[in-house]
Chain A
Amino acid sequence: MSVTTKPVQSIGLRQALADLPVRLAKARLAYLYIAPAAIVMAIITIGPLLFQIYMAFTDYSVRHLNPKFSPKLIGLDNFIQIATNQTYIENFDFWRILVFDLVWTFTNIVIHVTTGIILALMLNYKGLIARRVYRALYMIPWVMPGLIVAVVWRNMFDTDFGAINQFLSIIARTLHDIGLLSVYEAVKIRWLYQPDPIVNLGGLLVLPLSYFAVLIVNCWLGWPFMMTVATGALQSIPLELYEAARVDGANRWQQFWRITAPLLRPAMVPAIMLSIIWTFNQFNVIYFVSGGGPFGMTEILVTQAFKLVNPQGKYGLASAFNIIVFLILLIITLITNRISRATEAYYV
Chain B
Amino acid sequence: MSSQWKSILGQLLIHLGLIIVVFIVLFPILWVVSMSLDPRNIDRPTELTLIPPGATLDAYIRVLKQPSPNPVAFHELFINSIIVSVGTILFSIVLAVTAAYAFSRFLFPGRQLGMLFFIFLQMMPAGATLAPLFVILQALKLRTELLGLIIAYASGTLPFAIWNMKGFIDTIPRELEEAALIDGCSPSQTFLRIMMPLALPGLAVTALFGWMSGWTEVILAITFLEDPSKFTLSMVLYGMQGQYSTSTPWSDFAAFSILFTIPPLIVAFFLQRYIVAGLTVGGVKG
The interface of chain A, by Cβ under 8 A from chain B, is 23, 26-27, 29-34, 36-38, 40-41, 43-49, 51-52, 65, 119, 122-123, 125, 127-130, 134-149, 151-153, 155-156, 158, 161-163, 166-167, 170, 220, 228-229, 231-233, 235-236, 266-268, 270-271, 273-274, 277, 281, 283, 301-302, 305-306, 309, 315, 318-319, 322, 325-326, 329-330, 333, 337, 341-348
Contacts and interface: CB of A to CB of B under 8 A. Distances in A.
Given A140-B25, A152-B31, A163-B31, A123 B18 contact: yes
B124 A49 contact: yes
Contacts of B234: 145, 147
A30 B278 CA distance: 24
Contact of B158 (A41, A274, A301): A41
B280 A268 contact: no
The 10 closest A-B pairs by CB, nearest first: A232-B280, A267-B283, A48-B132, A33-B102, A30-B106, A27-B108, A346-B170, A48-B129, A145-B216, A44-B155
A163 B108 contact: no
18 contacts: A30-B102, A37-B162, A40-B158, A44-B133, A125-B11, A127-B11, A129-B11, A136-B269, A147-B238, A161-B44, A163-B48, A235-B276, A267-B279, A306-B125, A326-B123, A329-B123, A333-B119, A344-B112
Nearest to A43: B136
Contacts of A152: 28, 31-32, 257
B106 A220 contact: no
B215 A145 contact: yes
A228 B99 contact: no
A145 B268 CA distance: 13
A37 B44 contact: no
Contacts of B53: none
A45 B121 CA distance: 7
Contacts of B132: 47-48, 51-52
B166 to A, nearest CB: 9
B65 to A, nearest CB: 21
Contacts of B103: 34, 345
B160 interface: yes
Given A36-B95, A347-B107, A268 B283 contact: yes
B31 A122 contact: no
A139 B284 contact: no
Nearest to B269: A136
Given A41-B121, A49-B129, A326-B124, A232 B277 contact: yes
B146 interface: no
A34 B99 contact: yes
Interface in B87-127: 94-96, 98-99, 101-109, 111-112, 114-116, 118-127
Nearest to B268: A143
Contacts of B267: 143
A233 B280 contact: yes
B129 A52 contact: yes
A270 B285 contact: yes
A92 to B, nearest CB: 17
Interface residues of B, number: 105
Interface of B: 7, 10-11, 14-15, 17-18, 21-22, 24-29, 31-32, 43-48, 94-96, 98-99, 101-109, 111-112, 114-116, 118-133, 135-136, 151-152, 154-155, 158-160, 162-163, 167, 169-171, 174, 187, 208, 212, 215-216, 218, 234, 237-238, 241, 253, 257, 260-261, 264-265, 267-269, 272, 275-281, 283-286
B114 A337 contact: no
A54 B99 CA distance: 30
B272 A136 contact: yes
Contacts of A140: 25-26, 29, 265
A137 B167 CA distance: 27
B95 A143 contact: no
Nearest to A140: B25
A104 to B, nearest CB: 15
A144 B261 contact: yes
Contacts of B124: 45, 48-49, 52, 322, 325-326
Given A37-B162, A127-B11, A156 B99 contact: no
A11 B237 CA distance: 68
Contacts of B131: 48, 51, 65, 315
Contacts of A326: 120, 123-124
B107 A141 contact: no
Most buried by B among A34, A51, A229: A34
A137 B11 CA distance: 19
Contacts of B187: 29
Contact of A128 (B11, B45, B237, B241): B11
Contacts of B280: 229, 231-233, 235-236, 267
B42 to A, nearest CB: 8
B167 A270 contact: yes
Nearest to B278: A232
Nearest to A332: B123
Contacts of A318: 128
A31 B241 CA distance: 46
